[in-house]
Amino acid sequence: MPDAPPYILLSDVDDTLLGDDAATRRFADFVESRRDRLAFVMNSSRFVASQLRSLEETALPGPDLLIGGMGTEIALPPGGSRLPDAQAHADIWRAKHLAGWDVVKVVGVLDRFPGVEPQPEANQSDLKQSRYLRDASEEDLAALRGELADVGQDVRVTYSSARDLDVTPAGADKSTAVRFVMKSFGYDDGHAAVAGDSGNDRAMLTCGAWGIVVANHRPELADLAGERIHRAAAGHADGVIEGLKRWFPELA
């Protein structure tokens, strides 16, 4: 097994890498011409199966790994991964988060919580439950966490776009999955970059790796700044390229 490339990008997909077809094609060209130096990981709230369909339907370049379901899934692409022992690491991640999680209890709390509306069945899994909860306050979310704790569930509640509610095991989200992948394959903060556009990307954008916020970001990232955050002038995948060139001049 060859060594992993020296740099890694772990990026959100919808409205970050996708949303501007021409920019997605430019991003694909950028990645393909730097395969020996850059590993590429897709990290989406969508499940891996849905991301694989996007790979078939768009110009996205093939990833070395996929993170899906708000960090609850780590999977290899159909052709395998250049990252060493990738399947073993993916199996470890899944087993870790199944322990102590009871999806029946989680569903029971969500189904009776005021204001919660169903999302399509395609958005649910044994490790992620997603609902709509419009214009929820911090008090609403705290109450929901309390009810889940009352039935013995240690969970992470992620809320974005003033509507989208995701409940996952406490240790599983887009950010912790990023840190797990970085540690598993030997990437330190100086050799890893993350990119995103919405509130469910905030934690991974501030997890220690170099952050890239694309120009078309949602309002919930308007205040995100810092010496390790690049606020791109360009939108969508062009903004990701811009950030990669800033953080990793060797790739420019």
Q: DSSP assignment of 34-94, as one string?
A: TTTTEEEEEE-SS-HHHHHHHHHHS-PPPPSEEEETTTTEEE--TT--SSTTHHHHHHHHH
pLDDT computed for residue 235 by the predictor: 98
Residues whose CB is less than 8 angstroms from the CB of residue 246 and which lie 6 or more positions away in sequence, other chains included: 230
Q: Residue 2: which pLDDT band, with cuts at 50, 70 and 90?
A: low
pTM > 0.75: yes or no: yes
The answer to whether residue 60 sits within a structural domain is yes
Task: With respect to residue 1, please indicate whether it lies within any of the assigned structural domains.
Answer: no
Can you give the pLDDT at residue 195?
98
The reply to whether 2 falls in a domain is: no
**Banded pLDDT at 67 (limits 50, 70, 90):** very high
Based on the domain organization, do 91 and 111 belong to the same domain?
no
C-beta separation of 51 from 76 below 8 A: no
User: Over the stretch 5-16, which tens digit does the pLDDT of each residue have?
Assistant: 999 999 999 999
- Residue ranges making up the domain that contains 114: 103-169
Query: Among 15-19, 97-101, 135-139, which is the least confidently predicted range?
Result: 97-101
Do 70 and 127 sit in the same domain of this protein?
A: no
The rounded distance, in Å, linking the Cα atoms of 31 and 152 is 44
Residue 23 confidence (pLDDT): 98
Query: For position 122, which CATH number holds?
Result: 3.90.1070.10
Instruction: Mark which of 130, 151, 169 sits at the end of a domain.
Output: 169
Output the CA–CA distances (angstroms, integers) from residue 181 to 37, 78, 127, in the order listed: 17, 18, 18
